Amino acid sequence: MDIFVGRGGNQMIPLSHDGIATLHCRMEREEENVYKVTPTSVMPTLLDGERVFGTEYVDGSTEITLGEGNTYPITELTEPLDASALTDWGVASRHIPDATAAEAFNSVSAWEYPVGQEGGLDEFLWNNVAACQANYLIEEGKLRKAQELLYEAGDSLYAMQEGSALRKGAYASLLVVLAKLYIAAGRKDVAREALAGARRVFASGVECSPEVKALLDSLI
């Protein structure tokens, strides 16, 4: 698996510091203790303090610096994100710090988790990150783009449910963001319907992340 390192990357540890690009560099473990690093951004990538501009091969003792002073053991950044842990958009927001990062993750990184069937992990992951991105876009006042994402992801998650508590929770969590969108658009009547649908699901024992619950409790 390729590791796309950055704010919108699929490395295990979240990266949200200034100077780190959405997709900063690409990394791959070539063999035991050999790592391939390729910068993918104009933001600087340094290996043991030396800036690199093309593909380099290094060993596991190397330290990598992204941007200004964000230094990590290379082995930390070559561990992939456990995508199955991103159970709803609230969990995804812990890894994805902004709308630009979410868009980058969904255009590149999400497809590193193929399952090979409709409704697989890659699609489920894309939907949760799309809802995360929509939440950020609403805060930026970009309601039309947020609506497009929520409708696309919502249709997909609705079709995926098939009795699964995990996927029901993801769909209900998306309904909470949809309610936030309707409130921002001045449609409180429709927002109440979306919130009622989400609350029915969660009242049945389906779980959601603390981030989703906090937004749910803050809305009408």
CATH code of the domain covering residue 116: 1.25.40
Which of the listed residues 36, 53, 77 is the one where a domain comes to its end?
77
* Same-domain check for residues 178 and 164: yes
Q: How far apart are CA 17 and CA 34, in angstroms?
A: 27
Place of tokens 């995926």: 160
- Phi, psi (rounded to 5 degrees) for 164: -80, 125
Q: How far apart are CA 26 and CA 154, in angstroms?
A: 31
Report the pLDDT value the prediction gives residue 31, as an integer from 0 to 100. Answer: 87
* Same-domain check for residues 90 and 197: yes
* Same-domain check for residues 173 and 188: yes
Cβ pair 26, 2 in contact under 8 A:
yes
**Which tokens go with 67?**
């941007």
* Same-domain check for residues 118 and 50: no
* Same-domain check for residues 116 and 211: yes
**Which tokens go with 164?**
């699964």
User: pLDDT tens, 6-18?
Assistant: 999 999 999 998 8
- The pLDDT of residue 70 is above 70: yes
User: pLDDT tens, 153-165?
Assistant: 999 999 998 889 9
Over residues 181-201, the mean pLDDT reads 97
**Which tokens go with 42?**
């104009």
* Same-domain check for residues 91 and 70: no
The predicted model scores a pTM of: 0.94
By residue range, what is the domain housing residue 56? 3-77
- Phi, psi (rounded to 5 degrees) for 65: -115, 130
